[in-house]
Amino acid sequence: MKVVIQRVREASVSIRGAVHSRIGQGLLLLVGIEDRDGEEDIEFLTSKVSNLRIFDDSEGVMNLSIKDIAGEALVVSQFTLMASTKKGNRPSYIKASRPEVAIPLYESFCSSLSEKLGKPAAEGVFGADMQVALINDGPVTILMDTHNKE
């Protein structure tokens, strides 16, 4: 499972021209799921994301978590994170899970994150053609991969 974590001042997801979800200060999470992912990956990532100290304290040092600042989270499924560009110029998405596997894991990720934050995470719509708007704060962007923990 991969997640791109972006610290944002605000973010939103629109579908067919209408805003579906919107958050203020917090994190935009783009989540990619593959068949070998499971609840262990979800627990690892949601624990890390909810406690990651990437928000500034009063001294301007990144020392606070999303929970510390009472921030919001927006979770968007993104199968293209699983792209392989090893051969040719057209990415292969063969590693990305099919909806019947990915949807329950995506929903579980959102539930687990909401539980850890103590409030609901905003969500995109799995498989929808979404337009994501954000104001990246910093910018701070972090990539985490449960199969390549660094």
In the three-class reduction of DSSP (H, G, I as helix; E, B as strand; rest coil), residue 36 is classed as coil
Is 80 assigned a catalytic role? yes
> Measuring CA to CA, which residue among 82, 80, 78, 69 is closest to residue 119?
69
List Cα–Cα distances, 140 to 66, 72, 109, 120, 137, in angstroms: 13, 16, 22, 23, 6
Instruction: Name every residue whose Cβ is closer than 8 Å to that of residue 64 and which is 6 or more positions away in sequence.
Output: 53, 55, 56, 57
Strand partners, 96: 34
The CA distance from 127 to 77, in Å, is 8
Which residue in 46, 80, 85, 146 is the catalytic one? 80
| Cα–chain center distance at 53 | 16
Q: Which residues are catalytic?
A: 80
